[in-house]
Structure 1
Amino acid sequence: MPTGLTTWPSWLPGWWSTADYDVAREVLQRGVATLLCLAFLQALGQFRPLLGERGLQPVPAFVARTRFRDAPSLFHLHYSDRLLVVVAAAGALAAAAVVVGLPQAGPWWATTVVLLSCWAGYLSIVQVGQRFYSFGWETLLCELAFLVAWLGSPDVPVPFLLVLAARWLLFRLELGAGLIKWRGDPAWRDLTALDYHHETQPMPGPLSWHAHHLPRWWHRTEVVGNHVTQLLVPWLLWLPQPLPSVAGGVVVLTQGWLVLTGNFAWLNWATIVLGAAMVSDGVWAALGGWVGIAGAAGDAPAPGAAGAPTAPAAYVVVVGAVVLVLLVLSARPAANLASAHQKMNASFEPLRLVNAYGAFGSVTRRRDEVVVEGSLAERPGPDDWREYAFRGKPGEVGRRPPQVAPYHLRLDWVLWFVPLGVSGPWIGRLCRRLLEADPAVLRLLRRDPFDGAAPRWVRLRLFRYRYTTPDERRRTGDWWVRHELGPLVDPVRLADLAGRSA
């Protein structure tokens, strides 16, 4: 490799870059860009009724009481629903460009600029998203977007430091989830957690009923498999190949089971992308997979060989600086893993560059659901109430739970937390918007029982749900059995809410 002001000496690629992760770069960049595109499109469809100027948690009110340095966001400078549309649409287009490989055809910095713009746009949305963007996969997508932005294009070799950074992210993601379970709930230690989980998870999928009714010995096996995958397998990431490839493959398989049995937005898919990126080009070639990509990667020249891509000095300096920043910011997340008071899904700095992850540190034993109803009657009797139908969360007992992931139904998810005591003023605003027959909010639902007419009354009731047994399912055709626990919000009219914030 020639030396000078634009390239580094010939000895540098031997330790700085690698020729064994070209497939991993493609998987990471295009996989993360696909998820970013989906996330931006979701913002176009859901952000305004939930968080817009007339949303359930309006962004203007949030930024008025929040300092910029605590939640850096473009929308601190100015928020309007129109600007949100511009940011989300531009982000979706930029991410789609990476999916099809447009910026990768240019210099290394073109891909970096495009992906960093996606990161900044989505971070701006998450920072003001409040309850509706408070999930671990939002932070994970922000961290992933920032990380993969520095992988450059095929014109430069893959920096091995970034390969290690990706391993560190998967290590925190899996080990953090495993430790929070082991520390958080005895059901994970006595192997009974999966006796409940398939039934009580926030949003079951079409196969969740079947998974719940698998034999108890299988549920014990699931828990043991979870502990092995999340507590032991991540350590393989720090050993020589092919062991990191084995770890990545195990993660992909176990996350695939979670995709089949639940709806966790893009959490499982992001983890699958990370797991697949742990597999080296040599292993892909040996497995005969990724024909055309892995084959080309397997024939690629080693770093420093004739015909191999070279690392411009600017690229080496920039990547080195980024990795140094990530290393410094890793201190608190690393300490969190070792802490007896481990935090779950936590950020330790406002840009969410290196975070703590985890899921289901406690498992709910019973399923309570909010049922939202309205009435057109002036003085409604017991038979005058009609139920609003949601797109994903359980409602009618005869409706099979749908597959919605990797799409994220934010209102449905947040309503799952209400019976657990996680609520707020947005519940009152939801009632108000239903009483107004607000079209934007009604579009978030699967069915409006009043076909766009404004009801006179709205109420919220709490029901206990459980799956039907196989015998009950054969006799009734239902997936659920439910009984009422009591009122959550007593019947209200629009006049009752007149004095509250619009």
Structure 2
Amino acid sequence: MNWQWFVSADYAQARFVVQHLLALTYLLAFLTAVNQFRPLLGEHGLTPVPRFLAAAGFRRAPSLFHLHYSDRFFAAVAWLGTAVSAAVLAGAADVLPLWASMVVWALLWVLYLSIVNIGQVWYSFGWESLLLEAGFLAIFLGPAHVPPPMPVLWLMCWLLFRVEFGAGLIKMRGDSCWRDLTALYYHHETQPMPGPLSRRFHQLPRPLHRVEVAANHFTQLVVPFGLFAPQPVASVAAVIVVVTQLWLVLSGNFAWLNLVTITLAFAAMGPQVLGWLPVPLPDSPAPVWWLALVLVLTATMVALSYWPVRNMLGRRQVMNRSFNKLHLGNTYGAFGSITRTRYEVVVEGRDGGSRWREYDFKGKPGDPMRRPPQVAPYHLRLDWLMWFCAISPGYGRGWLPRFLEALLRNDRHVLKLLRRNPFPESPPTEVRARFFRYRFTTARERRETGAWWVRDPVGEYVPPVSLDDLAR
């Protein structure tokens, strides 16, 4: 068989960029786990993993932690993933033999799959599956000295197509504000975690907001088809995707969703765009056994694509669904509906008869005087779930009482998830959660008060509780 069509040294730069951006994303994901897993999911966390493992078998949640779980073992796994991804980012996998490079990428995938599958509500976001699916494909890309396999790059373009086209379809089928081009009248203000520039974006003229929505529809519903066109059309389509994603990076915090999407776009870029990168050209032939594995991978991913395609074409399209526990062949999408008003859950405590003092979170809005921070591509899992709690109390049913209990005990691990503990000396005797309506300040309000937000109390979310109340 003539394998010349199967590999192409012209895409060595594209592979280099894809692999190193994926390694960076893995590094961020493992560091997030190192910093946040113990208070959220550890043995004494808000939703303890041992309890989950006792109820879920290996087939339901494939994970190394079925063999053994302890907080120390988890830390070892997370730090191993951090070290390996940092080494890959530094170029270690580029010089390894082909089989060893595949083992390294497979190790990263297995380690992170093991974390995601026991992560419960904290790891239920679409970018977890997206990283796993992209990371699995990266196993077969090969190191720098062998030519890039084109089917794997095409599969990455297909993954990007599903991300973009699926998101475009869910918007058109979902909230009417996407169809009448008014979605961005609200979204910059009501998105899960606004960033430093979100207020500026929100205050852009409304005609420009309508242009933004129209451009989004073009990027998500038309441009993805160009990824499979001959060069330079595919490169142009990929550049449009990258520019759109950078716009999203500037306007809000979406963890590493934008970073992985940008990474996949580079898989479609030819030497017309990336030829300037000083990447050594492959100088080793591609082994037949590896090419055969790539064929098997391609056939498997084509078969798995049946479910996301059926979902996209169906009338009841769902967002961010994994159809198997390996998180391969997923369906994606975001913001099928847009909230018009921003609500926030504000947590407060008091010691005896003293005044109520507010707990500050690292990312989510709280103090109206504080500018929204830049967090992404890092991910603050507790802050994101607090946004969902403001939409519906059901999102916090399984963990919010334990969170309040941790505050009443001044649990040092949970408090590390917060920006400021107003009770550094001794824990509060009572905590409560209040419901507020938030909006960005106008230009005049900002000049007069220096505030970034205006907030108005709506009501009580959780009434004052003590440790005795929670023990009943």
Aligned with 2:362 (options 391, 394, 412): 391
State the match for 2:451 in structure 1.
478
8 A Cα contact 2:14 2:268, kept in partner = yes
Q: Which residue does 2:329 correspond to in 1?
A: 354
Aligned partner of 2:386 in structure 1 is 415
Q: Residue type matched to 2:419 in 1?
A: R
- SS of the residue corresponding to residue 396 of structure 2 reads coil
Match of residue 95, structure 2, among 86, 97, 105? 105
Using the TM superposition, name which of 389-398 and 266-275 deviates more.
266-275
User: How far is 1:135 from its partner?
Assistant: 0.7
Correspondence for 1:141:
131
Query: For residues 452 and 410 of structure 1, do their structure 2 counterparts lie closer, same or farther at Cα, with a shift above 3 Å needed?
Result: farther
Contact 1:29 1:149 in 2 (8 A): no
Corresponding residue of 1:303: none
Structure 1 window deviating more from structure 2 (394-403 vs 14-23): it is 14-23
Alpha-carbon displacement from aligned partner over 1:364-402 (angstroms, at most 9, x marks no partner): 10100010000101xx3xx61100000000000110000
Shift of 1:452: 4.4
Asked if the contact 1:178–1:231 (Cα under 8 Å) also holds between the matched residues in 2, the reply is yes
Q: Distance between the aligned counterparts of 2:174 and 2:425, measured in 1?
A: 45
Superposed CA RMSD:
1.2
Choose which of 26, 34, 37 in structure 2 pairs with 1:44: 34
For residues 76 and 366 of structure 1, what CA distance do their matches in structure 2 show?
A: 43
* One-letter identity of the residue aligned with 1:405: A
Which residue is 2:346 aligned to? 371
State the distance in 2 between where 1:74 and 1:424 align: 28
Q: Is the 8 A contact 1:439 1:452 kept in 2?
A: no
Tell me how far 1:496 sits from its aligned partner: 1.4
CA contact (8 A) 2:31 2:78 kept: yes
Matched residue, 1:304 = none
Distance 1:452 1:134 in 2: 35
Uncovered stretches (5+) of structure 2, i.e. residues with no partner: none
Cα deviation, 1:103-156, whole Å, max 9, x if unaligned, reads 221211111111111111111111111111111111111111111111111232
User: Residues 14 and 274 of structure 2 are in contact (CA less than 8 Å); yes or no, is this contact kept in structure 1?
Assistant: no
Distance of 1:246 and 1:268 partners within structure 2: 18
Deviates most, 413-422 or 69-78: 69-78
Q: C-alpha separation between the residues in 2 aligned to 1:61 and 1:315?
A: 41
Larger Rg: 1
Divergent runs of 4+, >3 A: none
Q: Which residues of 2 match residues 439-454 of structure 1 at below 5 A?
A: 439-454=412-427
Aligned to 2:184: 194
- The equivalent of 1:310 in structure 2 is 285
SS of equivalent residue, structure 2 residue 140: helix
Conserved 8 A contact 2:172-2:178: yes
How far the C-alpha of 1:322 sits from its partner, in A, is: 1.6
Q: Percent identity?
A: 54
Select which of 437, 441, 444 maps to 1:464.
Answer: 437
Secondary structure at the counterpart of residue 68 of structure 1: coil
Report matched runs for 1:13-52 at 5 Å.
Answer: 14-52=4-42
In structure 1, runs of 5+ residues without a counterpart are: 1-8, 301-307
Query: Aligned-pair distance for 1:309?
Result: 2.9
> Counterpart of 1:225 in structure 2: which amino acid?
A
Distance in 2, matches of 1:425 and 1:437, equals 20
In the alignment, the residues of structure 1 paired with residue 428 and residue 8 of structure 2 have an alpha-carbon distance, to the nearest angstrom, of: 64
Report SS of the residue matched to 1:347.
coil
Structure 2: distance between partners of 1:90 and 1:332: 34
One-letter identity of the residue aligned with 1:329: L
TM, length-normalised to structure 2? 0.98
Shift of 1:328: 1.1
How far does the alpha carbon of each residue in 1:24-47 deviate from its partner, in whole angstroms, 9 at most, with x for none?
111111110111011101101000
In the alignment, what sits opposite 1:230?
Answer: 220
For residues 162-181 of structure 1, the C-alpha deviation after alignment (integer angstroms, 9 at most, x for no partner) is 11101100000100111111
- Which residue does the alignment assign to 2:265? 275
Taking the aligned partners of 2:400 and 2:106, their CA distance within structure 1 comes to 35
1:122 is paired with a residue whose SS is helix
Q: Which amino acid in the other structure matches residue 365 of structure 1?
A: R
Indicate the residue corresponding to 1:114 in structure 2.
104
How far apart are the structure 1 equivalents of 2:426 and 2:109? 40
- Count of residue pairs the alignment pairs up: 470
- Give the residue type in structure 1 aligned to 2:238: G
What's the TM-score, normalizing by structure 1?
0.92
User: Structure 1 pair 184/427, CA: closer, same or farther in 2 (3 Å)?
Assistant: same
CA distance in 1, matches of 2:100, 2:397: 43
